[in-house]
Chain A
């Protein structure tokens, strides 16, 4: 690869982030402008209120609502002007990379959770100063902002995936408690088909773009992983991974999930009962309720991903990052700090229904009161972020293609994993 003389800081920590966390938590104090000991890799935030001007980029709905949220920050720091530019999610990644290329990146921005490693690799983001405490974040969320044992930015909000199921149809099929393990999930799906007139027991993506987000949790839940502990090499081939992929394949070969589903019918199928189970995130709640109409909220429930060794799920959401080259570093980090307090996170939830990334934020009634959110809360404890590797998008695409072969062409899982492994090695980790 190219022999530029930049130091590489892009090896990745997987579950070893927990250890790093401990070290970080030992220094610095939360929410304190007077700054603690100097961090090894990040300078402390200056004292006093923020001044100057800041440009902030935020996507979609967050971009629209952020100015409202920042009024509190404005009151605390009257001498600073914050300009929020809302950016569409569509092609946002292209906009960022172009801006980084041309040097027109903003001071602070919302950064998609899968972009962190890539941007760090571009030397685009600043490491997080010590003053911002990171011990209260969900483990998986913190992982997603940690590259090579250094934390860049902070998690802002999170989302994770759980199993949505029709409770009324399940009762009809004689099942009153949601399943907890792999076998239980298969049983429920088959019960739907045999006793509740469902065409398919569960909606699963048979490979193709993004299917790794459903398969990886099963791999994790079985104790496997696709990168090693240090995040330096890919480990697609393993007995646990093979078991998980076989389990996934069995849904298609046993006629439980549709190997050729039509696009965009998930909500409709769920409401009609044709396919009464699927795996997705919190936004689907309002979607199915919109299609299902009044009273539908009582006809379905959610439960955490089935357990093999653990119950794991995909952790997504977005992070906040400060860009290198910002001319107002202090104000930028103060803004990030402000958005990272539990109170503001709760306030944000009220405005946007984005789930707080701080565990303390969940203790507030507004969040805790929703029964279905309880399940998401539980899942967040064990949800994991995808490998924080700069080349992950490309490796994942390769994995998606192999998963498709497994689901549609009956390719043996072992072969699929071997193929993915060799392609992934060819791609490298971008280090």
Chain B
């Protein structure tokens, strides 16, 4: 038996009612007591999580949502209710802000390029480690994961060196084949792309280990059967492996997209949003607004980002035919 490929909600329960001793599975479903026991168990299992979540996450979220509809500034933090309600004014102002629009566009490009690349790299690494490498697997695993845990300071120094226009490694190598490399981080046309590459390098390790976990659940029996039938490696990958890890794929897709839609560290550390706003991200701009104390406006920008993330996630769920 293989893992279910498409996940739908839990189906109805068939079988005996109640928790009494075994009896043959009945054809007709008897839901009432089963359903009640199930519901009880479900709520019980959910309770600790939901409780903590409600107090420490949901409530602050509601407060901040309220904040985004007011003209709250940092001077109001002691008296958060003595602010003016301004409705959608902050949201309108965010749309009207050319820098925010630029930031939104940069974020969009970043996501469209970065997410697929990261997923492909992570999946490739996971598959390679799972099937192609026997010993030394741990070494490779840690090695490929190391960018995720390396201090951003070290990352910044090394990448700045790589991308330096005159003495940088990339341009030096390019010059060997006669190409005059651009000023990667200083040229408006290449800065964002450089950050995409850096981000993919930094994050593919996380996708990799998640895929590794998902791949563990794939039944090798299926592969053996298909191989016996003459299916090649690629064919098997596409027809067996990929469908088997669909829930994992959805997870990686959604969480990577969410992460990249909020990308902050790369432009913050490497370019401060420059040159000339070529790399400013929505998150970074929102962070700046918080820094300036414009809490109402910053809140609106954050929730606009949230809306976009929500829509993107919804689309992804639909695409993968999940509920």
Binding site for B on A (CB under 8 A): 1-4, 93-94, 97, 100-101, 103, 118, 121-123, 208-209, 260-264, 390-391, 393-394, 397, 401, 404-405, 408-409, 430
Query: Are B183 and A260 interface neighbours, CB within 8 A?
Result: yes
Instruction: Please pick, from B79, B165, B294, the residue contacting A4 in the complex, using a CB distance under 8 A.
Output: B79
How near does chain A come to B293, taking the closest CB pair, in angstroms?
7
Question: How far apart are the CA atoms of A33 and B177 in the complex, in Å?
Answer: 76
- Assess whether B160 is interfacial by the CB under 8 Å rule: yes
Shortest beta-carbon distance from A270 to chain B in Å = 16
CB pair B186–A118 under 8 Å, yes or no, is no
A409 to B75, CA, bound (A): 37
Report the nearest A residue to B276, measured CB to CB: A404
Among candidates A4, A94, A263, residue contacting B160 with C-beta atoms closer than 8 Å: A263
Of residues A94, A261, A263, which shows the largest number of chain B Cβ atoms within 10 Å of its Cβ? A263
Q: Can you list 27 A-B pairs with a CB-CB distance of less than 8 A?
A: A1-B73, A2-B71, A2-B72, A2-B73, A2-B83, A3-B84, A4-B83, A97-B293, A100-B77, A101-B78, A103-B78, A122-B77, A122-B78, A208-B274, A260-B186, A260-B187, A262-B160, A262-B186, A263-B270, A264-B160, A391-B292, A393-B291, A394-B292, A397-B288, A397-B292, A404-B275, A430-B75
- Give the contacts of B147-201 with A (CB-CB under 8 A): 157, 160, 164-166, 183, 185-187
Chain B residue at minimum C-beta to C-beta distance from A260? B186
Assess the B164–A122 pair: CB atoms within 8 A. Answer: no
Chain B residues, Cβ within 8 Å of A1: 71, 73, 84
- Contacts of B83 on A, CB cut-off 8 Å? 2, 4
Chain B residues whose C-beta falls within 8 Å of the C-beta of A391 in the assembled complex: 292-293
Specify the chain A residue showing the minimal Cβ separation from B275. A408
> A122 contacts B75, CB within 8 Å?
yes
CB pair A393 B275 closer than 8 Å = no
A100 to B288, Cβ gap below 8 A? Answer: no
With A and B bound together, what is the CA distance between A393 and B74 in angstroms? 13
Chain B residues with CB below 8 A from A404, complex form: 274-276
Contacting residues, chain A, for B272 (C-beta < 8 A) = 208-209
B225 beta carbon closer than 8 Å to chain A: no
Are A2 and B76 touching (Cβ within 8 A)?
yes
Q: What's the count of A-B pairs with C-beta under 8 Å?
A: 77
Residues of A within 8 A of B183 (CB): 260
Query: CB of B82 within 8 A of chain A?
Result: yes
B248 within 8 A of A: no
Residues of A within 8 A of B164 (CB): 262
| Interface footprint category on B | 20 to 34
Query: Chain A residue with minimal CB distance to B163?
Result: A262
Q: Mark B93-116, 1 if CB is under 8 A from A, else 0.
A: 000000100000000000000000
Q: List residues of chain B with CB within 8 A of the CB of A121.
A: 75
Q: A208-B275, A262-B185, A262-B186 are in contact. List 5 more A-B contacts (CB 8 A).
A: A100-B77, A103-B78, A122-B75, A260-B186, A390-B75
**Docked pose: A94 CA to B164 CA in angstroms:** 32
Within 8 A of A (CB), among B43-90: 71-79, 82-84
Beta-carbon contact of A405 and B186 below 8 Å = no
In the bound complex, residues from chain A placing their C-beta under 8 Å from that of B262 are none
Bound Cα distance A122, B272 (Å): 28
**Measured between C-beta atoms, what is the minimum distance from B82 to chain A in Å?**
5
**B313 interface residue (CB < 8 Å to A):** no
Q: A3–B82 Cα gap in the complex (Å)?
A: 8
Contact (Cβ within 8 A) A2 B82: yes
How far is B24's CA from A86's CA once the two chains are assembled, in angstroms?
70
Q: Which of B78, B79, B160, B288 is most buried by chain A, counting CB atoms within 10 A of its CB?
A: B78
Candidates B74, B274, B291; contact of A122 at CB < 8 Å = B74
Q: Which residues of B contact A264 (CB under 8 A)?
A: 157, 160
How distant is the Cα of A100 from the Cα of B79 in the complex, in angstroms?
11
Instruction: Collect the chain A residues with CB atoms within 8 Å of residue B82's CB.
Output: 2, 4
**Bound CA span A94–B166, Å:** 37
Q: Is the interface of B mostly helix, strand, loop or mixed?
A: loop
B316 at the interface (CB under 8 A from A): no
Cβ-based interface call for B277 (8 A): yes
CA distance A393 to B290 in the complex (A): 11
Residue of B nearest to A394 (CB): B292
CB distance from B279 to the nearest CB of A (A): 12
Instruction: Name the A residues within 8 Å of B72 (CB-CB).
Output: 2
Q: Bound complex: CA of A168 vs CA of B202, how far in Å?
A: 44
Check if A97 sits within 8 Å of B74, measured CB to CB: yes
Q: Report the Cα distance A405→B186, complex, angstroms.
A: 14
Known interface pairs A2-B83, A260-B183; A101-B276 also in contact (CB < 8 Å): no
In the complex, how many angstroms separate the beta carbon of A260 from the nearest chain B beta carbon? Answer: 4
B80 to A, closest residue via Cβ: A101
A264 CB, nearest partner CB in chain B, Å:
6
Nearest-Cβ distance from residue B63 to partner chain A, whole angstroms: 12
Chain B residues contacting A103 (CB-CB under 8 Å) are: 78
For the complex, what is the distance from the CA of A94 to the CA of B293, rounded to whole Å?
Answer: 10
Known A-B contacts A262-B160, A262-B164, A401-B277; the reply to A101 vs B77 at CB < 8 A is yes
Closest to A427 in B: B292
Write out the residue numbers on chain A whose beta carbons fall within 8 Å of the beta carbon of B73. Answer: 1-2, 430
Complex formed: what's the CA distance from A52 to B166 in Å? 61
Looking across the interface, which residue of chain A has its beta carbon closest to that of B84?
Answer: A2
Q: Say how far A223's CB is from chain B's closest CB, in angstroms.
A: 29
Give the distance to chain A from B121, nearest Cβ to Cβ, in Å.
27
> Given the complex, which residues of B lie within 8 Å of A260, measured CB to CB?
165, 183, 186-187, 275
Residues of B within 8 A of A101 (CB): 77-78
State the Cβ distance, A201 to closest chain B Cβ, in Å: 17
Q: Which residues of B contact A94 (CB under 8 A)?
A: 291
- Interface pair B74/A118, CB less than 8 Å apart: yes
- A421 and B127 CA atoms in complex are apart in Å by 57
Q: In the assembled complex, which residues on chain B have CB atoms less than 8 Å from the CB atom of A430?
A: 73, 75
Known: A100-B78, A101-B78. A262 touches B165 (CB 8 A): yes
CA distance A397 to B293 in the complex (A): 13
Closest to A124 in B: B78
Are A409 and B276 in contact, CB atoms less than 8 angstroms apart? Answer: yes
B-side contacts of A100, CB under 8 Å: 77-78
- Contact partner, A93, options B276, B288, B291, Cβ 8 Å: B291
Are A408 and B276 in contact, CB atoms less than 8 angstroms apart?
yes
Q: How far is the CB of A220 from chain B (nearest CB, A)?
A: 24
Residues of A within 8 A of B76 (CB): 2, 4
Going nearest first, the 8 A-B pairs with the smallest beta carbon separation are: A101-B77, A394-B292, A260-B186, A4-B82, A209-B272, A262-B164, A2-B83, A208-B274
Distance, CA A4 to CA B293, complexed state (A): 16
Chain A residues with CB below 8 A from B275, complex form = 208, 260, 404, 408
Residues of the A chain whose Cβ atoms lie less than 8 Å from the Cβ of B292: 391, 393-394, 397
The distance in angstroms between the C-alpha atoms of A103 and B77, with both chains bound, is 10
